[in-house]
Structure 1
Amino acid sequence: MSVDHTPGETIPSDRTVRLLDTTLRDGEQAPGVSLSPDEKVEIARSLERAGVSVVEAGSACTGAGERRAIARVTDLDLDARVTSFCRGLESDVDLALECDVDGVHVVVPASDRHVESKVGTSREDNLATTAELVEYATDHDLWVEVIGEDGSRADLGYLEELAETALDAGADRFCFADTVGHTGPEHTATAVSRLAEHGPVSAHTHDDLGLGVTNALAAVSAGADLVHCTVDGLGERAGNVALEEVAIALEHVYGVETVALERLYELAQLVSRATGVQLPPNKAVVGENAFTHESGIHTDGTLKDDRMYEPYPPETVGRERRLALGKHTGRAGVEATLEEHGVEATDDEVAAIAERVTELGDRGRRVTDADLLAIAEDVTGDDRERVVELLDLTATSGGAVPTASIRLDVDGEQRVASGTGSGPVDAAVSAVREALGSQADAELESYHVDAVTGGTDAVVTVEVTMVRDDRSVSVARSEADITRASVEAMVDALDRLLATEERPFAPADD
């Protein structure tokens, strides 16, 4: 899978590099992000499945609630080392010990700006305090990493002195921290190579200049063997370096294995749902468009050779390839998508369908699977009878528990059901599933809402992608009512997924 190596490769494939995930601490410091103890536990379990070596579960000094969440993670008895972030205070170490963590990350100032202006101390006193903190933590049998905060802006000679002091006092490693995403790969490599002469070195990089991965790789090439990351690149300001990007870069480019790559996408999706931070479509590795092809030239090339326009197979990171429809879609893409949905068409019909898809894309429309299939039915003259159709929907959210009732036509039989949920959309979806019974076992893979118009009478477009067995269908619906748009899109997607099955519905479940 990896690229060919050259004799001068800066990171040999036999290097041992581990990843430290700080999503539960530094990632949670992103504006608007707050994880519940249950969410922290779920993410920690997913990190464990991926093979992450160190899980920084939080900062014990934050409060009693945070300590309970950290303790929940330590109770999982993970193979990964579970740690807590600590300020330069013995009391912070005591609070971490209450959580029964395996280790601590003791942050101490490294740059003069932090030593003098933030902490209000001197270089000499900072060294003495660092040694005392390390000795205190190691006396309590903790694994200790000392982080030189703002290390990328520190005097390099003093940074070395700080690292030597920490390691001589018993610290397991020293971390080079580009705290504000300030530096570039050349300085990172110089600093880490000098620090590595004193003992084990970690790297903590941020993405303010878009150099998070570059600096992380520069640090590894210079001797760092542990990289701090967050899932999806969450973190303060522009975020930390993304775990999934470091992992795939190390393995694909250098042949250095760190984690189970096939777990990356499910991990990214889990963190996105828990934090409410949507993944940008063009996000490397885990973004929606990372393995999506619309261009006719790219689609045709990919269908001939799936490596033609992709650096590595999508399955490597737990993804699937997707052909998108739009004004750039050529005949090959249309034909391949029709085949996926079991639609037969002659060459002339495919050409006509492709032309209609292009016209729809030219009008600024995102062309969904449902749009394509409707065009195909019109061109081929195949009048398909609906299997599932929405007849009526009522949803209320004024009370303590949002409720919804729904009436569907299911293969000629009317079904009525009700449901509750965290909101009117959730309640309506529950009602749909209740009406359809166990046969409606499709999974909602994605759900996007976009405002089409502004003002109090705004129209919204809801686009859903639903998967059943090995088939997926995307549908978009626009309405003034987001609940109705959501339900119509989901019902239409289910209808498309079930249309090719013979008698897909048994009588409604008891």
Structure 2
Amino acid sequence: MTVRILDTTLRDGEQTPGVSLSVEQKLMIAEALDKMGVDIIEAGTAIASEGEFQAIRVISEAGLKAEICSFGRIKFEDIDAAADAGADSIFMVAPSSDIHISSKFPGKTRDEIVEMSVKAIEYAKERGLIVEFGGEDASRADFEFLIKLYDSAVEANADRLTFTDTVGVFTPEKAFETMQRLRERYSIPVAFHGHDDFGLATANTVFAVKGGADEIHVAVNGLGERAGNAALEEVVMALEFLYGVKTKINKQMIYPASQLIEKLSRVKVPPNKPIVGDNAFTHESGIHTSALLKNSQTYEPISPEIIGRKRLIVLGKHAGRASVEMIMKELGYKATPEQMKEILSRIKEVGDRGKRVTDADIRTIIETVLQIRKERKVELLDLSIVSGVNLMPTASIKLKINGKEVIEAGVGTGPVDAAINAIKKAIKDFADIELVGYHVDAITGGTDALVDVIVQLKKEDKVVTARGARTDIVMASIEAFIEGLNMLID
């Protein structure tokens, strides 16, 4: 069995509070979804705005393999907008619960909703659209009325039916039973659209497939209104690896797509999120790590490479000898048993103080205990920053890189951004370094608070973390950045 995937990241996902994507950004995401193997891309709501209309038009004309879909109501203007934008299909919904009927179409009866739906479906077919018809808020609707609505939609030549758990109140058992009943009744494909208000979207979607759903609606990173939609990455991996249900998804593209959407949506993926969260394949515990290095299956249900990721071993208060030995091997160092004991003790001490142990911390501890003095490749010689109410923040920096003095200037949205941009310009001839993470914590209170800045830098496929701690956030940021550079620049 192969289940079809309708991705709604660009429609329901963009309805996440605070998310607004440009036409160019939507096209980038659509291309990533298509490369990942999504069957249907719900690209937006054509009637919503001129920008939405243009985005659907651009995506429809991009030559993607996926079917391009527009969301719409049972209104002729929505259908016209979808067709005029060049969409292949329309996901059209009619209110099916009494609360939705009375709120969205005051004064309308159930029979009138059925009649409006039939006319809308027939018109959409006339406009040449594939019609996927859904009963909105179906999980709170009277089931007999829902069947009447779906029967009428099938008679009007709808191509697919969708059961929508609009406010996430379904349970896996109900999802299974309901999809079984719908699958037995209808010969056309039946889909399930789930929300995560009670944290059951993934389970409900999986059980809907077990019940016979031909198609499922998902969003990358679980984006969507309120608590979000069923997460593509969770549903696909659960179906394929736990239930043996196939999809057309190229799993190695899951993580790259997740990162792109996190960046463009500006919605941070929680570190403990399954599959795509930072911690999903990150290990610290010494007992776990020791076993993991012998056999990765001991503490990983799947290999990170399957979804385009890499395993990460971090050190902290739970660090063990095996983890430290692996990192020392990467650095080309060896230690006596006594030295190893001291290195572990110092690493655990940093963790016991409640601090994250960065790669730079580990390297400093190892080199200090082994009494290795390495020449710093990058040194800060001078820094000047100008900022004001009506001035674009500008930074001028002098660095010594591999013995050569380099002076550069940069501008930014703030003093920190300007300083980091100046550093990036200064090192561009020495290495291609990308800032992929930046985190600030105030360690003490007051206007003279000590701030702890942790940066994550990337060079090719190597990622390192480094720390800077000062009362001046600009200097703390630069200190952290330069510490990271010293680990990456040859």
TM-score (norm 1): 0.91
Per-residue deviation, 1:194: 1.6
Letter in 2 for 1:31: P
Distance in 2, matches of 1:438 and 1:161, equals 68
Cα gap change, 1:164/1:37 in structure 2, threshold over 3 Å: closer, same or farther? Answer: same
How much has 1:401 moved relative to structure 2? 4.2
Q: Say yes or no: does 1:213 pair with 2:202.
A: yes
Q: Does 1:92 align with 2:78?
A: yes
- Amino acid paired to 1:147: G
Which residue of 52, 59, 63 maps to 1:73? 59
Letter in 1 for 2:133: V
Is the counterpart of residue 474 in structure 1 residue 460 in structure 2? Answer: no
Match of 1:143 in 2: 130
Alignment of 1:226 with 2:215, yes or no, is yes
Counting aligned pairs with the same residue, the percent is 47
Deviation for aligned residue 1:433 = 2.5
Matched, 1:185 2:172: yes
Q: 1:40 to 1:31 in 2, by over 3 A?
A: same
Residue in structure 2 matched with residue 258 of structure 1 by the alignment = 248
Equivalent residues in 2 for 1:154-303, closer than 5 Å: 154-196=141-183, 197-198=185-186, 199-255=188-244, 256-303=246-293
The answer to whether the Cα contact below 8 Å between 2:80 and 2:127 also exists between their aligned partners in 1 is: no
Residue matched to 2:479? 488
Alpha carbons of structure 1 residues 276 and 164: separation in structure 2 relative to 1, 3 Å: same
Task: Please give the secondary structure, in 2, of the residue aligned with 1:175.
Answer: strand
1:124 to 92, 105, 111: 111
TM-score (ref. length: structure 2)? 0.95
Contact in 2 for aligned 1:341/1:471 (Cα 8 Å):
no
Would you say the 8 A contact 1:349–1:380 is kept in 2? yes
Are 2:121 and 1:134 aligned?
A: yes
Partner SS, residue 60 of structure 1: coil
1:361 correspondence with 2:351:
yes
Q: Show the counterpart of 1:505.
A: none
* 1:439 pairs with one of 430, 455, 458: 430
Counterparts of 1:385-404 in structure 2, within 5 Å, are 385-398=375-388, 399=390, 401-404=392-395
* CA 319–484 in structure 1, closer or farther in 2 if over 3 Å, else same: same
SS in 1 for 2:429: helix
Q: Is the 8 A contact 1:208 1:237 kept in 2?
A: yes
Distance 1:210 1:383, change over 3 A: same
SS of structure 1 residue aligned to 2:428: helix
Kept in 1, the 8 Å contact 2:468–2:478? The answer is: no
* Superposed displacement of residue 268, structure 1: 0.8
Q: 1:4 matched to which residue of 2? A: none
- Partner in structure 2 of residue 5 of structure 1: none
CA–CA distance in structure 1, aligned partners of residues 20 and 385 of structure 2: 29
Shift in CA distance, 133/323, structure 1 to aligned 2, threshold 3 Å: same
1:153 pairs with 2:140:
yes
Q: What is aligned with 1:18?
A: 4
* Offset, 1:473: 1.9
Q: Displacement, 1:325?
A: 1.0
Q: Do the aligned partners of residues 422 and 83 (structure 1) sit closer, same or farther apart at CA in structure 2, a change above 3 Å counting?
A: farther
The alpha carbon displacement at 1:236 in A equals 1.1
Whichever residue aligns with residue 449 of structure 1, its letter is: V
Give the secondary structure class of the aligned counterpart of 1:439. Answer: coil
1:49 aligns with 2:35: yes
Unpaired runs of at least 5, structure 2: none
The residue number in structure 2 matching 1:8 is none
Whole-angstrom distance in 2 between the partners of 1:455 and 1:113: 51
Change over 3 Å in CA distance of 1:338–1:175 after alignment to 2: same
> CA 1:83/1:452 → structure 2, altered by over 3 Å: closer, same or farther?
farther
Query: AA paired with 1:61?
Result: I
For 1:37, the equivalent position in structure 2 comes to: 23
Q: Output the amino acid matched with 2:270.
A: P
CA contact (8 A) 2:467 2:483 kept: no
Structure 1 unaligned spans of 5+? 1-14, 502-510
The 3 A distance-change label for structure 1 pair 265 and 167 is: same
Whole-angstrom distance in 1 between the partners of 2:44 and 2:447: 41
Contact 1:460 1:481 in 2 (8 A): yes
Asked whether the 8 Å contact 1:370–1:474 carries over to 2, the reply is yes
Output the CA distance in 2 between the equivalents of 1:195 and 1:470.
48
Match of 1:216, as an amino acid?
T
Q: Which amino acid aligns with 1:253?
A: L
Q: Which residue is 1:429 aligned to?
A: 420
Separation in structure 1 between the aligned mates of residue 60 and residue 395 of structure 2, nearest angstrom: 41
What is the count of residue pairs matched by the alignment?
Answer: 485
Distance in structure 2 (CA, Å) of the matches to 1:230 and 1:239: 8
- Aligned residue type for 2:357: V
SS class of match (2:47): helix
Question: How big is the alpha-carbon RMSD for the aligned residues of Structure 1 and Structure 2?
Answer: 1.7
Aligned CA distance change for structure 1 residues 93 and 479 (closer, same or farther; 3 Å)? farther
Question: Cα deviations across residues 150-201 of structure 1 (Å, max 9, x unaligned)?
Answer: 1111111221221121122111111111100111011111221222221311
Q: What code does the residue aligned with 1:63 have?
A: S
Kindly tell me: are residues 144 and 417 of structure 1, through their superposed partners in 2, closer, same or farther at Cα, counting changes over 3 Å? same
Summarize the Cα distance change of 1:262–1:490 in structure 2 as closer, same or farther, 3 Å threshold. Answer: same
Deviations, residues 374-408 of structure 1 (Å, cap 9, x unaligned): 11111111111111012222334545644321111
SS at match of 1:152: helix
1:507 maps to what in 2?
A: none
AA matched with 2:31: R
- SS class of match (1:307): helix
2:91 to 105, 109, 112: 105
Q: Deviations over 1:277-334 (max 9, x none)?
A: 1111101001010001111111111011111100000001111111111101111111
